[in-house]
Amino acid sequence: MTVPANDPQAARGRRPLEGVRIIDMSRLAPGPYCTMLLADLGAEVIVVGGGRAGEPTSTFSRGKRFITLDLKAPEGQEALHRLCKTADVFVESFRPGVCSRLGAGYDTLSALNPGLVYCSLTGYGQEGVLAQDAGHDIGYLSLSGVLGALGPRDGPPSVPLNLLADFAAGSFIAALGIVTALFDRTRTGKGQYIDAAMIDGCLSLMAMHAPVWQTPVLPGRGEGLLGGGAPYYRCYECADGRFISLGALEPQFFASLWRTLMQSEVPDHMDVTAWPQMAAEFEARFRQRPRDEWCRLFAGTQACVTPVLAPDEAWSHPHIAQRHAMSSASRVPVIPRFGRAEMSAPDTDTTDRSDEVLTPLGLSAEQIALASPRSARERVPSRSWPPRMTRSD
């Protein structure tokens, strides 16, 4: 890791992870999103693709450089080893054992670079009866109990896109582990292995909810205070067919909601027996006006009433537009904000930079050619996003 000089003037514009080099061999969504977050924070991210590993797509590619290596060839493995000697972090997302067969296992790379932080971001982790099984977000949510707690009481569980397991329980947990291991290295001088399993992240996300499952707080799916049973913590359809959400859990927020909406004496909002009637009254009342009219009515009331915006509406909301004016083109903001660093989204460029990256490592043009996939035919494209959908009418 090359850390810039401790110059207070320079530090004001320096991003927190500048000087950190990350080698990214992850695929699909969670790993690339994780390394995009780290690239946004200043890390140098070099994505290793090529061969059956696939070609880059631009969804999570900003701030990264891309190279192609044939890791089934000795020359490709040697090039990767030289690169990893200069790295601080290595990220991969293959099933257990795959990277070892490609000469990129933890034992091999840590022997070359004892300070390397090596993160395996997978669905089921490195051990356990399902470690070698294929999986996706919905499966990890299912097995961890998350999906069983989401959705209506009288219907199937609701699928929350692939936001929770892939990104919240995967990408963010891996990024936290990487940054923590880098901090630990400042004290020990040693890197370490990180087993970041999305199934573990999902279980952690249930820390607040699993202990109260099948209690009055969360008696079942679609029930309880946070599960959709409370009439003041759910969504309602408005006159225009759009929706509004309520989050008036605390007494003062509920009182503001009730006075504005019902204009009568505030009842005990924790009386569960009154919830069905209250929900029916709310449903009838919210159908009387369009969504945006309700928003204007509740503006400034602190009743925790919010419009349910579609993804293409969100960036037009005044609050989001004000906070993220510079991110409006990509619609993916740089997070979080820092007091000293000047944070802005890096450019996206998926041009192959193999020569640019590998030449400084002492590899000749001939060696770089031998390390690369032998032909375009051997470069199997990765799953692109968005995928090409078909329909038959």
Which of the residues 81, 136, 209, 317 is marked catalytic? 136
Q: Please tell me the total number of residues recorded for the chain in this structure.
A: 393
Which of the residues 166, 200, 269, 324 is marked catalytic? 166
Active site annotation includes 81: no
* Closest CA relative to residue 43, chosen from 323, 341, 327, 385: 341
Active site annotation includes 136: yes
In whole angstroms, give the CA distance from residue 121 to residue 221.
30
Q: Could you tell me the CA-to-CA distances from 135 to 94, 121, 138, 141, 160 in Å, in that order?
A: 12, 13, 8, 11, 16
Q: What is the 3-state secondary structure (H, E, C) of the chain?
A: CCCCCCCHHHHCCCCCCCCCEEEEECCCCHHHHHHHHHHHCCCEEEEEECHHHCCCCCCCCCCEEEEECCCCCHHHHHHHHHHHHCCCEEEECCCCCHHHHCCCCHHHHHHHCCCCEEEEEECCCCCCCCCCCCCCHHHHHHHHCCHHHCCCCCCCCCCCCCHHHHHHHHHHHHHHHHHHHHHHHHHHCCCCEEEEEHHHHHHHHCCCCHHHECECCECCCCCCCCCCCCCCCCEEECCCCCEEEECCCCHHHHHHHHHHHCCCCCCCCCCHHHHHHHHHHHHHHHCCCCHHHHHHHHCCCCCCEEECCCHHHHCCCHHHHHHCHHHCCCCCCCCCCCCCCCCCCCCCCCCECHHHHHHHHCCCHHHHHHHCCCCHHHCCCCCCCCCCCCCCC
Active-site residues, by number, are: 136, 166
